[in-house]
């Protein structure tokens, strides 16, 4: 892979990551409640989820999901159900008193699961990444470079959103404001879950 191809991949991946998806919605919600203490576990969870999803895609899971209706359906419904469950929890989260963030390990695990079980991301990886691979060169070094680059970009993107939300959390004290934020984030997570459930096999 030459330098121009790698830079093109970085630009395309950065453009993709800037658009908030289910993972970023979760990061924002947890960071608003937990402040800076929740930032590192969330970012680590996002990085691990991206690394797993992209590695499995390159290893052939993406092709399996594209070929198997059952495999795609199982992963799709698991991811959709988890997003909807998280949205319902956010909707019912208390707004009186100080926010009660999740323990760091649970926050990181939630970020990991939401990122790793998004079937649209896996389908995207299998369609997107091969465009930047040079078939005349060894596969593993190229795959490692692309996975590592995407994971670093994804973690940096999540970190930026988390720090922004963490900064805002110190200023958000009114229960009404927190209720509006909770309900907005909840609605978006549930909507993302419904959208995931409605994905077609070739989405």
Query: Do 42 and 30 touch, CB atoms closer than 8 A?
Result: yes
**What band does 203 get if pLDDT is binned at 50, 70 and 90?**
very low
| Closest by CA position to 119, among listed 201, 24, 58, 44 | 201
Q: Would you list the domain boundaries of the chain?
A: 23-197
- Determine the number of helices (DSSP H) and then strands (DSSP E) in the chain: 9, 0
In this predicted model, what pLDDT tens digit does every residue of 56-108 receive, in sequence order? 887 776 566 667 777 767 767 877 787 788 778 778 776 665 555 677 788 88
The whole model's pTM is what? Answer: 0.70
Most confident of 3-17, 29-43, 80-94, 171-185: 3-17
**What band does 112 get if pLDDT is binned at 50, 70 and 90?**
very high
Give me the phi and psi of 93, to 5 degrees please: -65, 140
Say which range, 4-8, 31-35, 154-158, has the weakest mean pLDDT: 31-35
Q: Give the long-range contacts of residues 196-201, CB within 8 A, separation 24 or more.
A: 196/22, 196/76, 196/79, 196/80, 196/83, 196/118, 196/119, 196/120, 197/76, 197/77, 197/80, 199/76, 199/119, 199/120, 201/66, 201/69, 201/72
What's the mean pLDDT in 118-141?
A: 75
Look at residue 99 in the predicted model and tell me its pLDDT.
Answer: 54
Residues 6+ apart with CB under 8 A from 82: 113, 114, 117, 193
What's the mean pLDDT in 169-179?
A: 66
Average confidence score pLDDT of the chain: 77
| Closest by CA position to 175, among listed 112, 99, 104 | 99
């Amino acid at each position: 892979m030459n330098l121009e191809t790698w830079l093109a991949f970085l630009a395309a991946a950065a453009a993709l990551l800037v658009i908030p998806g289910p993972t970023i919605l979760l990061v924002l919600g947890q960071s608003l409640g937990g402040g800076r203490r929740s930032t590192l576990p969330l970012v680590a969870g996002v990085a691990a989820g991206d690394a797993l999803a992209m590695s499995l895609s390159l290893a052939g899971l993406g092709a399996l999901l594209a070929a198997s209706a059952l495999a795609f359906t199982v992963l799709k419904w698991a991811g959709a159900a988890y997003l909807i469950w998280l949205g319902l929890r956010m909707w019912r989260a208390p707004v009186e008193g100080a926010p009660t963030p999740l323990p760091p390990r649970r926050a990181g695990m939630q970020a990991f699961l939401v990122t790793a079980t998004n079937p649209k991301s896996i389908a995207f990886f299998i369609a997107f990444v091969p465009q930047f691979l040079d078939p005349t060169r060894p596969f593993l070094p190229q795959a490692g470079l692309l996975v590592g680059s995407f994971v670093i970009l994804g973690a940096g993107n999540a970190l930026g959103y988390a720090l922004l939300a963490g900064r805002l959390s110190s200023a958000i004290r009114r229960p009404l404001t927190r209720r509006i934020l909770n309900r907005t984030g909840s609605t978006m997570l549930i909507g993302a879950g419904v959208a995931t459930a409605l994905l077609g096999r070739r989405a």
